[in-house]
């Protein structure tokens, strides 16, 4: 077998998420069916760095695929053939590279980055419907940024963890949580080695309460310390969430 790492971009609006489900179309299904066509009908399974939820998008998702060595694939063939076979679905391979069979898209990852986009205005989006969270009440991005600092570092993130989360431990180290305003957009960037299920969306939903003045920034620290999901804010919708990067050391796409 020959293993290939692929970096993928997709619009998750019409998918049930990354992972195959009993009903509905998943990103994984589109990728694996495209890979099977490239492999002349042979089943090709994929492993990914993060199983995004329904409606979540990606600009830098990473997965790996194992193809028969007899195919003698090249980077351009893997990228272009997969993109051809995945039409007309909104999923594309941005880059592809061969990796050792010991390399794993999920377990070799050392960093994951997400971006969340809030559209902060009264009018609904005409061009970005399904790609932003529309919040009509004015938000104070500076206050949201001050609140975000309480979440940085290594903590028990039970208060920001989905009840269905399957992680063995709620302990995570949040390396970055930045909030900035760009015109009508409020952009929240989160980086960590790994995240709990719904952690980013739960943090964003909580920061939104601070931005609209319902919470003080200090209350976010209290919610974290409570280690109780009921102490934090609501889960923000998936529309505004993007998986932007997965980091590796060394980075297989750098060569």
Q: How far is residue 94's CA from residue 61's CA, in Å, rounded to a whole number?
A: 10
- Catalytic, 53? Answer yes
HEC profile of 54-114: CCCEEEEEEEEEEECHHHCCCHHHHHHHHHHHCCCCCEEEEEEEEECCCCCCCCCEEEEEE
Residues 11, 53, 80, 142: which is the catalytic one? Answer: 53
Contact status, residue 233 vs residue 239, Cβ threshold 8 Å: no
Contact status, residue 214 vs residue 107, Cβ threshold 8 Å: no
Q: How far is residue 144's CA from residue 150's CA, in Å, rounded to a whole number?
A: 11
Q: How far is residue 66's CA from residue 101's CA, in Å, rounded to a whole number?
A: 8
User: Active-site residues: which are they?
Assistant: 53
């Amino acid at each position: 077998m020959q293993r290939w790492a692929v970096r993928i971009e997709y619009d998750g609006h019409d998918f049930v998420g990354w992972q195959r489900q009993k009903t509905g179309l998943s990103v994984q299904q589109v990728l694996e069916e495209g890979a099977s066509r490239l492999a002349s009908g042979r089943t090709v399974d994929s492993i990914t760095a993060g199983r995004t939820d329904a409606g979540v998008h990606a600009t830098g998702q990473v997965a790996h695929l194992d193809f028969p060595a007899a195919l003698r694939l090249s980077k351009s063939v893997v990228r272009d053939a997969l993109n051809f076979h995945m039409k007309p679905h909104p999923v594309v391979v941005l880059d592809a590279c061969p990796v050792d069979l010991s390399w794993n898209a999920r377990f070799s990852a050392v960093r994951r980055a997400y971006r969340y986009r809030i559209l902060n205005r009264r009018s609904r989006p005409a061009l970005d419907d399904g790609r932003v969270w529309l919040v009509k009440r004015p938000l104070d991005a500076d206050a949201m940024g001050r609140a975000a600092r309480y979440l940085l570092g290594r903590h028990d993130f039970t208060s920001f963890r989905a009840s269905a989360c399957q992680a063995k431990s709620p302990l995570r180290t949040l390396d970055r949580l930045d909030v900035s305003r760009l015109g009508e957009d409020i952009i929240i960037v989160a980086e960590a080695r790994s995240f709990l299920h719904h952690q980013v969306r739960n943090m964003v939903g909580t920061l939104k309460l601070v931005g609209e003045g319902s919470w003080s920034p200090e209350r976010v620290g209290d919610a974290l310390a409570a280690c109780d999901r009921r102490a934090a804010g609501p889960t923000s919708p998936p529309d505004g969430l993007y998986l932007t990067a997965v980091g590796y050391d060394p980075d297989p796409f750098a060569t």
